[in-house]
Chain A
Amino acid sequence: MTTLTDPPAESFKLSMLVYDTRYRAITFQILALLAFLTLIGWLINNTAQNLADLGKEPSFAFLYAPAGYDINQTLIAYNNQDPHIRAAFVGLLNTLLVAFLGCVTATILGVLVGVLRLSNNWLIARLMTVYVEMFRNVPVLMWIVLCMAILIESLPAPSAFRGDDATSSMALFDSVAVTNRGVYVPEPLFSRGLGDISVGGYFEISLDLIAFLVVLGGGIFVSRQIARRADAQQEATGVRPKTWYLRLGAVVVPLLVLMVALGFHLGLPELKGFNFQGGTYMRNSLIALWLALSLYTAAFIAENVRAGILAISKGQTEAAAALGLRPRRITSLVILPQALRVIIPPLISQYLNLTKNSSLAIAVGYMDITGTLMGITLNQTGRELETVLLGMLIYLTISLLISAVMNWYNSRVKLVER
């Protein structure tokens, strides 16, 4: 007869933390974490102590002192007596502007190049390969500087437009002036405008713009309703009614009515004094930065797009063709929906890269958040730590927001598996 006894209850001993394989891994991880936190704590403490010794306790009060400097490109009203924080905000808007323009252009260009690189035309495919390899393998800073140098050196100065024997003239029926300081294009003006609305006293938004956007949104909504009805009719009868003129009219006619009602006209740039006046002025710092960032990032996006398309097996195209779909429909209904789920995640990284690369703006004198807050403000106030921390926080926020939006989009287009 055998008796079963419980194994002796093991009491926990401290030495087991090292000798017992069940605990050892955790012990070392906790030790490593403690060491890491100590290091960080020491760095922060040391920094605070040293700043205190230098008599420079961290403080953000400087943000409310008058900035004293001017910024050339301001999307909201700003003058040099406004506080540093407003100058930083002007810079932030400039960062967002170039990031937005860059992302849109890079996407369009990238998709185009990515598709063309898969073209059956030998010359086009090779040209696209050369483009991709050239732009991805040279630091973006050099492209930015090169774009700027080309704009400055190759375009005429405003003085070339002056006098009776002017060597340059304005393009497109005297409406666009292309100079080495920037491009002046006609600006939309409203003789019976609705005025501006002030948002919390900080900045003003044009009511005309809001009205325009509302009417445009309404038009697009109606247009989609028409398309939906056409879909329903096609399913019921098999015949798709012609709706393109209805859909176009739904968008364009209300806009035209609004523009006439507001007294829309174009303000043309005109050479006055040293520079062109009137019109919308796109500085060549913006153009150079926008162009370089777009071209550079587009090379990466092109590769993502190519990878996405190549990930879909050729059998899918052939099967779709066998069902009688036309090439355009094969792309939009079969290939793209599947390719997008490969393309979107790396595309997010490219958007983030472009946004962060825009901090190289100071190379061409574009006043973004790095140029204002972490440039001139840092310099005039001597608050290195505070401005750099604030700048990092701002870039982090922008990046996280872009990620959030793109992840939401990704979850919408990803393949729903049943």
Chain B
Amino acid sequence: MKKSVFFGALTVAGLAAGAAAAATLDDVKARGKLNCGVATGVPGFAAPDAAGEWAGFDVAVCRAVAAAIFNDPKAVEFIPTTGKTRFTALASGEIDMLARNTTWTFSRDTDLKFDFVGVNYYDGQGFIVPKALGVSSAKELDGATVCIQTGTTTELNLADFFRINNISYEPVPIETNAEAQQQYLAGACDTYTTDASGLAATRSTFEAPGDHVILPEIISKEPLGPLVRHGDSEWGDIVRWTFNALVAAEEYGVTSANVAEMSSAPGDNPEVNRLLGTEGDLGAMIGLDAAWAKNAIAAVGNYGEIFEATIGESTPIGLARGLNAQYTNGGLLYAPPFR
């Protein structure tokens, strides 16, 4: 097994030669579909639905990029990646972009040679505990057994949090969310920690979600966002501005329902006109056709629509917009101008 990993690494690194050299957009167009790395299954963020189609908050970003390039949100090959395999998959060229609740950190951006194109979810690490435990603050967790997914920033934050507060804990490393859930529900750990959004998603699948509380402490900043390889800025631009288009669309009231009508003729907001390609030629600047943003919005809806349909308060995940509201509503979402 060790040997196959080694040769696997060699071959992957070998194949990367071609991928890194050519422009990613040309590769994607030649292939006819986008290879997008997603999580192996986080309800609301990325999971196959009843029909086997991938759906979710992160998946929507992939579909938007595919729609911007091909005008076809289905021209995506979803490649499930674990916390461990995701960076290798992206660095080697197996996937063109990664949209998998990945935290934007300094070392990932620089040392690991990736480019984060934006933040699609402002998150933070939290703890979930059974109500019966009678714990109301994470600082009361001295001596607790903590289930934790390995290969994430989570375990470093956890180590820091307990060190700073001078309390001890017993880490139980877990490979996947499903196993963590099993151990947590069986009482093999007192608490489970990961991004608060992930905790809410996981709790929604419990038999009795009301018996569990998410503690108020958020012990880290976890800006989650899509990322691409270093070195192909043109490709990074396409993913970045496709995402920005979704955010701007919400700000200007462009929805999947009215985008066809609004893009049929120039309206009275020049920003919207430039976004939808009825004025100027922004599409050509990034190597796409003029209707790129219109296609993306028509396919998946604007940021607000995606949020409400996948993880919003009307879904079982039940997340409030919070920091992820538009800046006009007290949130952090702020798309740069389209001009």
Across the interface, name the chain B residue whose C-beta is closest to A362.
B175
Give the complex CA separation of A159 and B135 in angstroms: 14
Q: A272-B143, A379-B152, A392-B6 provided; 19 other pairs, C-beta below 8 A? A: A47-B14, A50-B17, A54-B113, A70-B162, A153-B186, A159-B132, A273-B143, A274-B190, A356-B2, A362-B173, A375-B84, A375-B173, A376-B155, A379-B87, A379-B151, A382-B87, A388-B2, A388-B6, A388-B9
Across the interface, name the chain B residue whose C-beta is closest to A62.
B111
Give the complex CA separation of A354 and B120 in angstroms: 45
Give the complex CA separation of A334 and B10 in angstroms: 53
A128-156 vs B, CB cutoff 8 Å, 1 = contact: the mask equals 00000000000000000000010011000
Q: When the two chains form their complex, are residues B5 and A388 in contact, meaning their CB atoms are under 8 A apart? A: yes
Q: When the two chains form their complex, are residues B182 and A152 in contact, meaning their CB atoms are under 8 A apart? A: yes
Which residues does chain A contribute within 8 Å of B186, judged by CB atoms?
A: 152-153, 157, 180
Given that A68-B159, A181-B188 are known contacts, is A275 also in contact with B151, CB under 8 Å in the complex?
no
Q: Does A55 contact B (CB under 8 A)?
A: yes
Q: When the two chains form their complex, are residues A375 and B151 in contact, meaning their CB atoms are under 8 A apart? A: yes
Q: Does A227 contact B (CB under 8 A)?
A: no
Q: When the two chains form their complex, are residues B20 and A70 in contact, meaning their CB atoms are under 8 A apart? A: no
Q: How many residues of A contact B (CB 8 A)?
A: 53
Q: When the two chains form their complex, are residues B159 and A376 in contact, meaning their CB atoms are under 8 A apart? A: no
Give the complex CA separation of A50 and B13 in angstroms: 6
Given that A181-B188, A365-B172 are known contacts, is A382 also in contact with B145, CB under 8 Å in the complex?
no
Give the complex CA separation of A375 and B152 in angstroms: 11
Cβ contacts A to B, 13 pairs, < 8 Å: A46-B13, A54-B113, A72-B172, A72-B173, A180-B187, A272-B143, A362-B150, A375-B151, A376-B150, A376-B173, A384-B88, A388-B5, A389-B6
Q: When the two chains form their complex, are residues B230 and A55 in contact, meaning their CB atoms are under 8 A apart? A: yes
Q: When the two chains form their complex, are residues A54 and B1 in contact, meaning their CB atoms are under 8 A apart? A: no
Q: Does B16 contact A (CB under 8 A)?
A: yes
Give the complex CA separation of A385 and B170 in angstroms: 30
Which residues does chain B contribute within 8 Å of A277, judged by CB atoms?
A: 143
Q: Does B112 contact A (CB under 8 A)?
A: yes
Which residues does chain B contribute within 8 Å of A95, judged by CB atoms?
A: none
Which residues does chain A contribute within 8 Å of B16, judged by CB atoms?
A: 50, 53-54
Q: Does B312 contact A (CB under 8 A)?
A: no
- Which 9 A/B pairs are nearest by Cβ-Cβ distance? A157-B187, A379-B151, A80-B159, A382-B112, A273-B143, A274-B144, A47-B13, A365-B173, A68-B156
Q: Does B40 contact A (CB under 8 A)?
A: no
Which residues does chain A contribute within 8 Å of B182, judged by CB atoms?
A: 149, 152
Contact residue among A272, A275, A359, A384 (Cβ-Cβ distance under 8 Å from B170) = A275
Q: Does A371 contact B (CB under 8 A)?
A: yes
Q: When the two chains form their complex, are residues A385 and B13 in contact, meaning their CB atoms are under 8 A apart? A: yes
Which residues does chain B contribute within 8 Å of A53, judged by CB atoms?
A: 16-17, 20-21
Which residues does chain B contribute within 8 Å of A49, judged by CB atoms?
A: 17
- B residues sitting closer than 8 Å to A (CB atoms) are 1-3, 5-6, 9-11, 13-14, 16-17, 20-21, 83-84, 87-88, 91, 107-108, 111-113, 132-133, 141-145, 150-152, 155-156, 158-160, 162-163, 169-175, 182-183, 186-190, 230-231
Q: Does A176 contact B (CB under 8 A)?
A: no
Q: Does A224 contact B (CB under 8 A)?
A: no
Q: When the two chains form their complex, are residues A371 and B113 in contact, meaning their CB atoms are under 8 A apart? A: no
Give the complex CA separation of A379 and B13 in angstroms: 17
Contact residue among B83, B91, B169, B172 (Cβ-Cβ distance under 8 Å from A54) = B91
Give the complex CA separation of A381 and B20 in angstroms: 21
Mostly helix, strand, loop or mixed at chain A's interface?
helix
Q: Does A220 contact B (CB under 8 A)?
A: no
Q: When the two chains form their complex, are residues A392 and B2 in contact, meaning their CB atoms are under 8 A apart? A: yes
Q: Does A252 contact B (CB under 8 A)?
A: no
Q: Does A228 contact B (CB under 8 A)?
A: no
Contact residue among B107, B170, B188 (Cβ-Cβ distance under 8 Å from A284) = B188
Which residues does chain A contribute within 8 Å of B107, judged by CB atoms?
A: 382
Q: When the two chains form their complex, are residues B151 and A180 in contact, meaning their CB atoms are under 8 A apart? A: no
Closest CB in chain B relative to A311 CB, distance in Å: 32
Which residues does chain A contribute within 8 Å of B151, judged by CB atoms?
A: 375-376, 379
Give the complex CA separation of A252 and B113 in angstroms: 63
Which residues does chain B contribute within 8 Å of A272, judged by CB atoms?
A: 143
Q: When the two chains form their complex, are residues A152 and B13 in contact, meaning their CB atoms are under 8 A apart? A: no
Closest CB in chain A relative to B176 CB, distance in Å: 10
Which residues does chain A contribute within 8 Å of B17, judged by CB atoms?
A: 46, 49-50, 53
Q: When the two chains form their complex, are residues A71 and B13 in contact, meaning their CB atoms are under 8 A apart? A: no
Give the complex CA separation of A99 and B300 in angstroms: 52
Across the interface, name the chain A residue whose C-beta is closest to B19.
A50
Interface positions of A from 188 to 218, Cβ below 8 Å from B: none
Which residues does chain A contribute within 8 Å of B111, judged by CB atoms?
A: 381-382
Q: Does A391 contact B (CB under 8 A)?
A: yes
Q: Does A342 contact B (CB under 8 A)?
A: no
Most buried by B among A47, A68, A359, A384: A384
Give the complex CA separation of A242 and B12 in angstroms: 70
Q: Does A89 contact B (CB under 8 A)?
A: no
